[in-house]
Amino acid sequence: MGRGRRTAGGGTPATVAASAAGVAYTLHAYAHDPAAPSYGEEAARALGTSPERVFKTLVAEVDGRLTVGVVPVAGSLGLKALAAAVGGKRAVMADPAAAERSSGYVRGGISPLGQRRPLPTVVDVSAAELPTVFVSAGRRGLEIELAPAELVRLTGAVLAPIAAP
């Protein structure tokens, strides 16, 4: 496993996308522990923030089409809710290799921003209640903090209740 794709300027595609769009954001780096059982919960602990503010990016297949779900690390992705949010019938988690190929990022570092191939994206509605959220900035150990409205705008996402406890 390698690190996420890097750009010539040293940023990740996620940070390049945010910068190009003129989005205000803050980068947060931390020492990633490869033995950590949950990348998202590790990020919340390392950054000293609530797991409700740190969102994980999950790739699923909805009726055979890759789709991104962005949910708080404290919960899980509701597959039926994700399918409904994009007008589909059935959702299953995508094969990790397919998610990596499509996004251009490695598992645990998949960002909803700057993906190689933009996919339909749904952000859990709980994000809208927060001043800022943290999502992967494109590699393990690097999070980008931004306003939820900017996350939605940059990804073309819809907001829907897709998190399951």
Report yes or no: 30 and 49 within 8 Å, Cβ to Cβ.
no
If pLDDT is split at 50, 70 and 90, which confidence band does 40 have?
confident
pLDDT band at 39 (very low <50, low <70, confident <90, very high): confident
Give the side-chain half-sphere CA count within 13 A for 61.
12
34 class by beta-carbon count within 10 Å (0-12 exposed, 13-18 middle, 19+ buried): exposed
DSSP 94: P
Between CA 152 and CA 165 the distance in angstroms is 22
pLDDT tens for 123-152 read 999 999 999 999 999 998 999 999 999 999
List pLDDT tens digits, range 83-125: 999 999 999 999 999 999 999 999 889 999 999 999 999 999 9
Q: Give the tens place of pLDDT for each residue, 55-87.
A: 999 999 999 999 999 999 989 999 999 999 999
